[in-house]
Chain A
Amino acid sequence: ETAVFQTPNYHVTQVGNEVSFNCKQTLGHDTMYWYKQDSKKLLKIMFSYNNKQLIVNETVPRRFSPQSSDKAHLNLRIKSVEPEDSAVYLCASSPRLGGSYEQYFGPGTRLTVL
């Protein structure tokens, strides 16, 4: 099956802990993304990444960082989570880094920070 896969589905943690979410795409795409979807369904881009370039949304706190081992994987690490980090984190991929390609989304990881 070719798609975008995310683990875990859910994660509950306490303020100050470190968490890491995994994303893998089997579509052969060059570019991957992380988005945050809050409780009001607002979707915001966090990172765009391919093997040559990382683009960070300037509003993303520095405790967030993407980690990639190859072009099929882009994990998201949050160092010292805060209550406002509670959200669904969506991973996506597209064939190229550029504005005219459809993005394919994973099912999301729901983070709850107590």
Chain B
Amino acid sequence: GEQVEQLPSSLIVQEGASVLINCSYTDSASVYFPWYKQEPGKRLQFIIDIRSNMERKQNQRLTLLFDKKTKHLSLHITATQPGDSAIYFCSASNYAQGLTFGLGTRVSVFP
């Protein structure tokens, strides 16, 4: 089945810096790649997604890049704020199988 690898496992940055999270998947049949954010004690929150027919998507301070050939994604967060501190999850979806998640990247932003 699908496997999703996510790196790094954790990041500590100062407010205002940028963050880059990398993700790779194995199943070429995966077509949809949503990313979620989980703050302590809160529910998983959708932040951005991309489909396999796209290469780039931007949503305010978030930019998601997708390379179908290498099965690789990267999430770039610019101008980080303390409110960006959370665990970020990459995921891949293959039609009816639900989402396969990476292990998450814990981002800590200090003022």
Residues on A lying within 8 angstroms of B by beta carbon are 33, 35, 40-45, 47-48, 53, 55, 57, 90, 92, 97-108
Contacts and interface: CB of A to CB of B under 8 A. Distances in A.
**Which interface residue of B32, B38, B44, B98 has the most chain A CB atoms within 10 A?**
B98
Contact of A98 (B36, B42, B45, B95): B95
Given A99-B31, A100-B31, A100-B32, A106 B43 contact: yes
Interface residues of B, number: 26
A45 B98 contact: yes
**Which interface residue of B45, B51, B99 has the most chain A CB atoms within 10 A?**
B99
Contact of A103 (B34, B42, B103): B34
Nearest to A40: B103
Nearest to A48: B98
Interface in B4-58: 30-32, 34, 36, 38, 42-46, 49, 51
B35 to A, nearest CB: 11
A99 B103 contact: no
Given A100-B93, A102-B49, A41 B99 contact: no
8 contacts: A42-B101, A42-B104, A43-B101, A98-B95, A99-B32, A100-B31, A103-B34, A106-B43
Given A99-B30, A100-B31, A100-B32, A45 B97 contact: yes
A100 B33 CA distance: 8
Nearest to A55: B96
Contacts of A101: 32
Given A41-B103, A45-B99, A45-B100, A99 B93 contact: yes
B77 interface: no
**Which interface residue of A48, A57, A100, A107 has the most chain B CB atoms within 10 A?**
A100
A41 B103 CA distance: 7
Given A35-B99, A41-B87, 5 more contacts: A44-B101, A53-B96, A100-B32, A102-B34, A108-B43
